Structure 1
Amino acid sequence: MGYGCAALVAARSSAPWAPAPAVVAVVGALVVPLLYLTVISKEQMEVGVVERAADLLFASGNPYRPTPHVVRDFNPYLPGMALFGIPHMLFGDSPFSSARLWFLVGFLAAMACAIRVLTSGRDGEARRAGTPRGVTGRTGVLWLSACPVVALPLTIGGVDPPVIGLMCLALAFTQRGDAGRAGLALGAAAALKWTAWPAIPVLVAVLAIRGGRRAALKCAAASVGIALVTVLPVAVAHSGAFYRNVVLYPSGLGPTASSAQSPLLGRLITALVPHGEAVTMALIALSAAGVGLSLLIRPPRSPVAGADRLALGLTLAIVLSPATRIGYAIYPVVLLTWPRFAAALSAGIEASASRRAGRSE
């Protein structure tokens, strides 16, 4: 319904990507479903898992249950994800303290910062410029939020939107040549979930081409440093719980089957091929090695090329993993679309600034 109304508004607008249909799409695909699901108290299991992780982290220093048995006992996320459960820990059950709301806030804050990075250092007129099709940064965020693979996890409480939002922020810093801040944003994402870790070598390779060895090292040090400072204390102090929750369970290799299951290739191999788990792990390792080798042989020369390479690697991992969800499609979809929009937005801003400078002369 929301998309249909947005299409009707777009048909009557002077430009199909105008702000009005974007707002209608967001209201219909995100706001209304989110309010309805909040009222009836329906949410994805991840919300409760993250809220419990915050309770455990501040009570014992360990966000993981030592001996999980059933699916709800497991926490497959890295320690940083527990931060989204702090409001619930402090204020109890409330729509405004739910981790679902803070996943949404984290995603929107990261995307707003990415737009600010892309438009910083410009005058007011240039900042209001858009892509050749007239899409401004704010409108682009609205359209991205209304995209089905983004709107769905935002409404049901998926943990992936803030992760991909921070990855987009890191790409924005990379486009502006700020290696240090790109590493900080990427490190924050890598402290939340394993899915952000493949982005580290990709952005390091991009920065090595664009800014040289020093920029690459700066990004690598910041990103790996933040991730390790967040993950290592828990992984070392509570190694058994960490291994069972964060390694065995999400990879589908533990005694308890992960709830993240889709009829993709990795799941079919596990079910139909002898020693299927070992086969899928070997295929994932080979695909990761192939993508890594491509970074050395033909490193990406732009954030768009880097995002494409990252999307390829994550798509292979998603398809081959024995425990995955079709919802993980948010990563390749956003990585294939948003960096291209960001590049077009930057080009439009540069063109606007050039025209303004020409008029002033």
Structure 2
Amino acid sequence: MTYIGFGAGAFTLFKLSGFDAHITWAHSAAIGYAVAAVISLVPLPAGAHRPRLARVAALTGALVVPFAMLLNGHHQMQNEVEIISRSGSLLMTSGVPYVHDASALSDINPYLPVMAIFGMPAALMTRAGLDPGSMWNIVGDPRIWCAAIAIVGIWGSMRLLHAHSGRARHIAVLMIASPTVALEMCASGVDLPLAGFLVLGLALAATRHPVTGALCIAAAVAIKWVALLSLPIVLALLVTRYGWRVAARFGGVFLAASAVFMLPAILSISDTIAQVFEFPAGIGAVATPAQSPMPGVLLASLGTAGRLTDMVLLTVCGIVLAYVLVRRPPTTFSTAATFIGIGFTCFFLFAPVGRFGYLLIPMLLFGLAYIARRTEQPRRVTKAPSDTLVSAV
């Protein structure tokens, strides 16, 4: 039934979207999901590994084939891919990833400086004077590197959490092959590195690697500021499970890394405010195209009263989550990931601007939380003589 649902999503996109990259992906993905569904339902010869064959069919149709097709340069790219490539080139030449005083949508870069790093390979290929149709230019495509960070984040988190079972791998492959993730990988990739750094940083923090965990969370924040929503939950997890010293070490490294990662944005603070904060919020000089029919967007379309309702709903969600965080702080990766996923979901649903692709981030958090929950052992939290909360295993 999972593959049938995936196929229905691909077919819906094919019917509703007029964008070339989406239609190309939907054609291939629908076939892959259909083959996977047939393999899952019909009788096969003895010894056939039905789940494995179905996963291969789904991944081939939803990821491998459309990825290869969309990277060949013969299909229209989403605007985000060009934005990342240009920001990488600007960062290399001027140290700032923004077009100064941008007044056209194509010039707006709504991402913080770390995203520009994913555009540097393409910029290097261009500077080398390579043929635009050569394989090296394909290797420089930002989508490849965005997808790589997401996959490293997922599999790295599973290794840290000792989630090695066949069922864990099956669920992880289903997440990657799902329409939400596979389409993003093939078409734009923009939300993938944030998600990859976030889940890996959380897994590192949950397994008492505060320094590397802080570096990953700082990298996520330096892609999109919305990743700051995860910071209170990560700190609560560290304090509850390992104590204030470990949390302070995490916080110190996070602040230092963030200062370094954000330096290019600070060097052009007016452009950063206009493009990274005002534009995505829908209050900039250039209108944002992030207008998917989500609850917050629909409410905002009603005018001042609708926007006020959005703010009230977001405030209520924030208060409720803060209350629960204080009363029952997370003690495991799965509870922290679920908490962060709920926070992101509330924010993305009720923000006055947004698009469905943003939900990729909480989906990965919920999926990895489910995987981790099957491997985590119950832990009893006790109070050490120094009044430091530690987890007794």
CA distance in 2, matches of 1:141, 1:95: 26
2:314 paired with 1:284? yes
Residue 70 of structure 2: aligned partner: 37
Q: Name the residue aligned to 1:158.
A: 189
Q: CA 1:45/1:144 → structure 2, altered by over 3 Å: closer, same or farther?
A: same
C-alpha spacing 1:276/1:315, structure 2 compared with 1 (3 Å):
same
Pairwise CA distance, 1:72: 1.3
TM-score (norm 1): 0.85
The equivalent of 2:158 in structure 1 is 115
Counterpart Cα distance in 2 of 1:31 and 1:75: 29
> Would the aligned equivalents of 1:172 and 1:342 in 2 still touch at CA under 8 Å?
no
Cross-structure match for 2:88: 54
User: 1:65 aligned to 2:65?
Assistant: no
Report the Cα distance in structure 2 between the residues aligned to 1:251 and 1:217, rounded to whole angstroms: 32
Question: Which whole-Å CA distance do the structure 2 matches of 1:16 and 1:188 have between them?
Answer: 40
- Whole-angstrom CA distance in 1 between matches of 2:304 and 2:194: 35
Post-superposition Cα deviations, 1:299-348, rounded to whole Å, max 9, x if no partner, equal: 1222211122211211111112122001111122111111221332567x
| Aligned residue among 27, 41, 57 for 1:24 | 57
Q: 2:276 aligns with which of 231, 246, 249?
A: 246
Q: Any idea what the Cα deviations from partners look like across 1:14-67, whole Å, max 9, x if unmatched?
A: 799843322221111111111222232332211100111011111111111121
* Structure 2 gap segments, 5+ residues each: 1-30, 127-131, 378-393
Q: For residue 255 of structure 1, report the CA deviation from its aligned partner.
A: 2.2
How many angstroms apart in 2 are the aligned matches of 1:77 and 1:53?
A: 9
Matched, 1:207 2:238: yes
Alignment map for 1:1-361 (pairs within 5 Å): 1-11=31-41, 12=44, 18-39=51-72, 40-92=74-126, 93=132, 94-119=137-162, 129-130=164-165, 134-137=166-169, 139-231=170-262, 233-274=263-304, 276-277=306-307, 279-281=309-311, 283-345=313-375
Contact 2:219/2:261 (<8 A) preserved: no
Higher RCO, Cα 8 Å, sep 6+: 1
Compared with structure 1, are the counterparts of its residues 196 and 17 closer, same or farther at alpha carbon in structure 2 (3 Å cutoff)?
Answer: farther
User: Structure 2: how far apart are the matches of 1:161 and 1:14?
Assistant: 37
Q: Is the 8 A contact 1:110 1:165 kept in 2?
A: yes
CA offset at residue 285 of structure 1? 4.3
Identical pairs, percent: 30
Query: What runs of 5+ residues in structure 1 fail to find an aligned partner?
Result: 120-126, 348-361
- One-letter code of the match for 1:165? G
Secondary structure at the aligned position of 2:223 is classed as coil
Distance (Å, rounded) in 2 between the aligned partners of 1:222 and 1:286 = 31
Q: Which amino acid aligns with 1:227?
A: S
RMSD: 2.4
State the Cα deviation string for residues 139-187 of structure 1 (Å, max 9, x = none): 4432221011111100102311121112221232234232332222212
Distance 1:96 1:117, change over 3 A: same
